[in-house]
Amino acid sequence: MFFSSPPMASISIVFLVLSITFVAGRAQPNEPSRVRLGTSLTYPTSWPSPSHRFAFGFYPQGSGFAVGIWLVGMDNNITVVWTANRDDPPVTSKASLDFTKDGKLVLRTEQGPEQVIASGAKGPASYAVMNDSGNFVLYKNDSKITWQSFDSPTDTILQGQTLLAGAELASSLNEGDHSTGRFHLRMQTDGNLVSYPRNSGDAASDAYWNTGTSGSGFNPNGFLFDLYLNSTGGLNLVNQSNSATVYTLNDHLFSSGDINLDNNNNTIYRATLDVDGIFRLYSHTYNENRNDRVHLLLSTLENSCDIHDFCGLNSYCSAIGSKAGCSCYPGFDFINTSNKFLGCHQNFNEDDCRRSEDPEMLYNVASLENMSWADRPYSVKLIEERGCGKSCLVDCNCGAVLYTDTYCSKYKLPLRYGRIRNVTKPTTAFFKVYHPHQVHEVLIESKRSLILILSIILGSFLCLCLVLATSSILVYRHKFDRYRKLTENVNLGLAEEFTLRLFSYSELESATEGFQEELGRGSYGAVYKGTISEGGKTIVVKRLEKHVEEGDREFRAEIIAIARTHHKNLVRVLGICIEGNRKLLVYEYMNNGSLADLIFKAERPPIWKERIRIALDVARGLLYLHEESEVRIIHCNIKPQNILMDDNWTAKISDFGFAKLLMPNQSGATTAAEGTSAYLAPEWEKNSLISFQTDIYSLGVVLLEIVCCRRSIEVNVSTTDEIILSSWVYDCFAAGELDKLVKDETVDFRTLERMVKVGLWCVQEDPTLRPSMKNVVLMLEGTINVPIPPSPVLSIVVS
Ligand SMILES: *[C@@H]1O[C@H](CO)[C@@H](O)[C@H](O)[C@H]1NC(C)=O
Ligand SMILES: *[C@@H]1O[C@H](CO)[C@@H](O)[C@H](O)[C@H]1NC(C)=O
Ligand SMILES: *[C@@H]1O[C@H](CO)[C@@H](O)[C@H](O)[C@H]1NC(C)=O
Ligand SMILES: *[C@@H]1O[C@H](CO)[C@@H](O)[C@H](O)[C@H]1NC(C)=O
Ligand SMILES: *[C@@H]1O[C@H](CO)[C@@H](O)[C@H](O)[C@H]1NC(C)=O
Ligand SMILES: *[C@@H]1O[C@H](CO)[C@@H](O)[C@H](O)[C@H]1NC(C)=O
Ligand SMILES: *[C@@H]1O[C@H](CO)[C@@H](O)[C@H](O)[C@H]1NC(C)=O
Ligand SMILES: *[C@@H]1O[C@H](CO)[C@@H](O)[C@H](O)[C@H]1NC(C)=O
Ligand SMILES: *[C@@H]1O[C@H](CO)[C@@H](O)[C@H](O)[C@H]1NC(C)=O
């Protein structure tokens, strides 16, 4: 049973074969055993060097095998030092290497033509040797070398090996894949030894390390230098014309320890351009048991962030200790999250900027300290720091700006060789990030299943409540205690942000101290301020007072739909309470009052930019209700009193979701008309018809109010033409006198005209002319053009 196990069997075969080859090698100690013409090789046999420290043959790479030379280490660990045709795909275990009768080394695979790996460059080969230096050599019949692997190094030179002037080492792709990677080290014909990212074009600014051994200071006459690794681990630049050492790298590299280089027969030196682009010198020390210990001796760089292109385009390197990592700039995502070295791309479409009349509306600014990158700015200006970030938003060519010492430099994408570094002058980089309302949709999507679970739990819980409520009134008190315990224990275990709490009536009664502090009385009931006992969070409790004919179950479904809405520009529902006839909703408390306070009552109304932002906030909140929430919701009561401002002065729509709930027969005009009529669409007043278009009308009125900072109907005005805001605005617009509408000087007339046009489209008496919410948002953002609006009043020919 033990021997029938297939993996064990194959491992034994490997060992058997290996020992046979080793025994064959040992027959003539340290006498290179010749590979004769007509010999062939398949995995796992190999042609070892006399000392068995090196071998030539197939080694495992990826899912197959590659042909190369390796250093044999402990546990049969191998260090690959050379690979034939490194960029060819791996071959299968069926592939064979044949040293043909005509002196060529060819690779035969099942599929595809045979490939010549080596053939005599200076006459036909008659035998081959895997030399103890790690060099695989083809000899002619006069024992002259006709081909050797040392002439075409890949990523490594071994002791005794030369990297000739004009040649290069190229790093491997990764530890397990020796095909050509991302960096190269060039022994340039000007005498300089230089590291560059391979796909960079090798300009001086792409170089991240060099010996500086070219030019007037060192090599004015342009002699050719070679890089030579000598037998004692000296890495030297050697003058080709007189073989003199002109530069010793060892004196200039970072040493990793106190291990002295020595002339020990048991040590093999190896210098490799590693996967990460750093050129390193290693020693492999052998003892009697043919095992090796590997030591890192020297390296060209210590900090990976010094390597250009260590992090790909549009990403930056930061080092914590000896570890370096790559991160995307704000507004960018990794091209491939499982390979963070490949760089990042912008996570929004730059075309939006070109389509938008006012790109500043689309983006926010994000910043990073002490950033540097290699590119040249296309514009450098003297401006203050705030203006520097903003100047990028309005410029579609701008990918990022760098602010240093009053200089604001603009850069195009892609950004190369980014890193955080210790700078002499503090530097701040600014980036565009897309407005968060897009991001939110994704969040909602991912929370949808969570919400589903939540509503199932909630649903079953409410059923339980129903059973309790219909139970005998006599035992009600008794049961109530248990019920309350149950409620308090309902911890749905979700992140605070998405948890909907179930409150008991008594809990809310005590939170509001017996519904004492009434904040206001809306169409659907009174609103009270309260404080939750745990955490001391301030809340708003809305007690629905209309009696509903509908079944409780349907009512609950509606309440849950309201509670499930979640958007930056909607006031959040924290919890609900339904006990018999008592129906209450608990909201977050908005510290900064309503939009009405802000634009009608405040001594100094918000500046133009702020007003534009608020208008967009409101529009985005309404877009969510109309088109993006799970249940499409008509608000029916959009007015500045229902738009609340949070701590950050973000506008949030409140009081949504009750129209359908409390006016099931769609005749809510009487309910909502109290003090609201200025915002009601004409068709509603006439026919009590509710549709999404009625909300758009109300929004239009609000937009115009935000623009002008006055109520839509204002009696206290200089001329009667000004009483009705929408007609006054249209008159000013038609007459080209928009400046009459605004009092402050900071107004940007381009955005003013756009706001006015959008507002006028929304307040069209003909509902079919009003735009959809999506288009309202796109027009406000400046992403699509706003056509010239007609007069909002249905055209009646006046003689
Ligand atoms: C063998 O190679 C692996 C991976 O390179 C390394 O982690 C391990 O330490 C090596 N084993 C020995 C004995 O050198
Ligand atoms: C073969 O190896 C020996 C000992 O390492 C070395 O002296 C000799 O130069 C090598 N020959 C070739 C052609 O690399
Ligand atoms: C070497 O090969 C050449 C041609 O292939 C032949 O003329 C010559 O006699 C051979 N020399 C020896 C020493 O075998
Ligand atoms: C190898 O190079 C080093 C540094 O140039 C030098 O000190 C040493 O003598 C050289 N070794 C041999 C054997 O030439
Ligand atoms: C290289 O060798 C040439 C010829 O011997 C000599 O003239 C030149 O100065 C050498 N260059 C350097 C940098 O040592
Ligand atoms: C290295 O090997 C050579 C030849 O086998 C021998 O002469 C020399 O003494 C050895 N050196 C050391 C340090 O073992
Ligand atoms: C991302 O990188 C991983 C690992 O390098 C690779 O397997 C995967 O195919 C890559 N994904 C894409 C989409 O390129
Ligand atoms: C900046 O310098 C400090 C102290 O020299 C060092 O601890 C820190 O790692 C450096 N930061 C970077 C990003 O190089
Ligand atoms: C940026 O660099 C300055 C100067 O070196 C330093 O004082 C500051 O702490 C750095 N800031 C960050 C965020 O690394």
pLDDT, tens digit, 9 for 90 and up, residues 618-668: 999 999 999 888 778 888 889 999 999 988 889 999 888 776 654 444 443
CB-defined site of ligand 6, < 6 Å: 263-265
Res. 26: pLDDT tops 50 = no
**What's the CA-to-centroid distance between 286 and ligand 6, angstroms?**
14
Res. 520: pLDDT tops 50 = yes
| Tens of pLDDT, residues 710-749 | 998 888 888 888 888 999 999 999 998 888 888 876 788 8
Instruction: Give the per-residue pLDDT at 747.
Output: 85
| Distance, CA of 644 to CA of 650 (rounded, Å) | 8
pLDDT band, residue 263 (cuts 50/70/90):
low
pLDDT band, residue 258 (cuts 50/70/90):
low
Do the Cβ atoms of 694 and 683 come closer than 8 Å?
Answer: yes
Q: What share of the chain is helix, strand, coil (3-state, %, to 5)?
A: 30, 30, 40
pLDDT band, residue 799 (cuts 50/70/90):
very low
CB-defined site of ligand 8, < 6 Å: 420-422
Instruction: Give the per-residue pLDDT at 798.
Output: 43
| Tens of pLDDT, residues 400-412 | 999 988 889 999 9
Distance of CA 254 to the CA centre of its chain: 35
Q: What are the backbone angles phi and psi of residue 515, rounded to the nearest 5°?
A: 55, 55
- Look at the chain and count its residues: 799
| Spatial strand order in the sheet of 54-61 | 46-48, 54-61, 64-72, 78-83
Residue nearest atom 12 of ligand 3, based on CA coordinates:
141
Distance of CA 798 to the CA centre of its chain: 60
Q: What share of the chain has pLDDT > 70, as a percent?
A: 81
User: CB of 496 closer than 6 A to ligand 1?
Assistant: no
| Distance, CA of 339 to CA of 150 (rounded, Å) | 33
Give the residue with greater pLDDT, 107 vs 2: 107
Residue nearest atom 14 of ligand 6, based on CA coordinates:
265
| Distance, CA of 314 to CA of 124 (rounded, Å) | 52
Instruction: Give the per-residue pLDDT at 435.
Output: 67
| Residue closest to 635 by CA, chosen among 583, 587, 565, 685 | 565
Give the residue with greater pLDDT, 149 vs 503: 149
Query: What's the predicted TM-score (pTM) here?
Result: 0.61
Average pLDDT over residues 208-216: 90
Average pLDDT over residues 428-448: 59
219-233, 285-299, 478-492, 721-735: range with lowest mean pLDDT: 478-492
| Residue closest to 161 by CA, chosen among 173, 153, 171 | 153
Average pLDDT over residues 184-206: 93
| Distance, CA of 167 to CA of 227 (rounded, Å) | 10
**What's the CA-to-centroid distance between 771 and ligand 1, angstroms?**
67
Q: Is 452 left (phi over 0), alpha (psi -120 to 50) or beta?
A: alpha
Tokens 């009459």 belong to which residue?
A: 740
pLDDT band, residue 461 (cuts 50/70/90):
low
pLDDT band, residue 437 (cuts 50/70/90):
very low
Range with top average pLDDT, 257-261, 424-428, 524-528, 687-691: 424-428
Instruction: Give the per-residue pLDDT at 457.
Output: 55
Ligand nearest to the CA of 246: 5
Res. 559: pLDDT tops 80 = no
**What's the CA-to-centroid distance between 77 and ligand 1, angstroms?**
6
Instruction: Give the per-residue pLDDT at 259.
Output: 60
**What's the CA-to-centroid distance between 654 and ligand 3, angstroms?**
99
Q: Tell me the CA distances in angstroms from 449 to 312, 453, 454, 457, 496, one per residue in order.
A: 36, 6, 8, 13, 16
Instruction: Give the per-residue pLDDT at 456.
Output: 55
**What's the CA-to-centroid distance between 431 and ligand 8, angstroms?**
24
**What's the CA-to-centroid distance between 144 and ligand 5, angstroms?**
30
Instruction: Give the per-residue pLDDT at 10.
Output: 37
- Cα dihedral: 707, 711, 713, 717 (round 10): -90
Atom of ligand 6 nearest to the CA of 263: 13
Res. 670: pLDDT tops 80 = no
Instruction: Give the per-residue pLDDT at 290.
Output: 61
Residue nearest atom 14 of ligand 7, based on CA coordinates:
336
Distance of CA 721 to the CA centre of its chain: 53
- Count, in order, helices (H) and strands (E) of the chain: 17, 44
| Tens of pLDDT, residues 213-231 | 988 788 888 899 999 999 9
Res. 308: pLDDT tops 70 = yes
Residue nearest atom 14 of ligand 5, based on CA coordinates:
246
pLDDT band, residue 121 (cuts 50/70/90):
confident
Residue nearest atom 10 of ligand 7, based on CA coordinates:
336
Atom of ligand 6 nearest to the CA of 262: 13
H/E run at residue 391: helix 385-393
**What's the CA-to-centroid distance between 304 and ligand 4, angstroms?**
29
Average pLDDT over residues 438-467: 48
Q: Which residues of 87-107 are buried (b: 16+ CB within 10 A; e: fewer)?
A: eeebbeeebbbbbbeebbbbb
Instruction: Give the per-residue pLDDT at 85.
Output: 93
Instruction: Give the per-residue pLDDT at 777.
Output: 92
User: CB of 77 closer than 6 A to ligand 1?
Assistant: yes
- Angle separating helix axes 692-708 and 773-781, nearest 10 degrees: 30
Distance of CA 171 to the CA centre of its chain: 28
Residue nearest atom 11 of ligand 8, based on CA coordinates:
422
Do the Cβ atoms of 61 and 49 come closer than 8 Å?
Answer: no
Q: Given ligand 1 and candidates 59, 77, 275, 291, which is best to mutate, with the most ligand atoms within 8 Å of its CB?
A: 77
Which sign, positive or negative, has the C-alpha torsion 338, 340, 345, 347? positive
**What's the CA-to-centroid distance between 340 and ligand 9, angstroms?**
25
Question: Within 540-690, where are the H helices?
Answer: 552-564, 595-596, 608-623, 658-662, 669-672, 682-687
Ligand nearest to the CA of 320: 8
Q: Tell me the CA distances in angstroms from 660 to 455, 545, 550, 557, 666, one per residue in order.
A: 20, 15, 12, 12, 7
Helix (H, G, I), strand (E, B) or coil at 277: coil
| Distance, CA of 370 to CA of 376 (rounded, Å) | 17
Do the Cβ atoms of 546 and 662 come closer than 8 Å?
Answer: yes
Q: What would the DSSP string read from start to end of 609-633?
A: HHHHHHHHHHHHHHHIIIIISSS--
**What's the CA-to-centroid distance between 234 and ligand 4, angstroms?**
5
**What's the CA-to-centroid distance between 141 and ligand 3, angstroms?**
6
pLDDT band, residue 491 (cuts 50/70/90):
very low
The mean pLDDT value of the chain amounts to: 81
Res. 450: pLDDT tops 80 = no
Atom of ligand 2 nearest to the CA of 135: 14
Atom of ligand 8 nearest to the CA of 319: 13
What is the β-pairing status of strands 40-42 and 34-36?
unpaired
**What's the CA-to-centroid distance between 248 and ligand 4, angstroms?**
9
Average pLDDT over residues 197-203: 90
pLDDT band, residue 201 (cuts 50/70/90):
confident
Ligand nearest to the CA of 223: 5
Residue nearest atom 2 of ligand 8, based on CA coordinates:
422
Q: What would the DSSP string read from start to end of 424-440?
A: SS-EEEEEEEE-HHHHH
**How many CB atoms are closer than 10 A to CB 444?**
17
User: CB of 369 closer than 6 A to ligand 9?
Assistant: yes
Residue nearest atom 2 of ligand 1, based on CA coordinates:
77
**What's the CA-to-centroid distance between 427 and ligand 9, angstroms?**
8
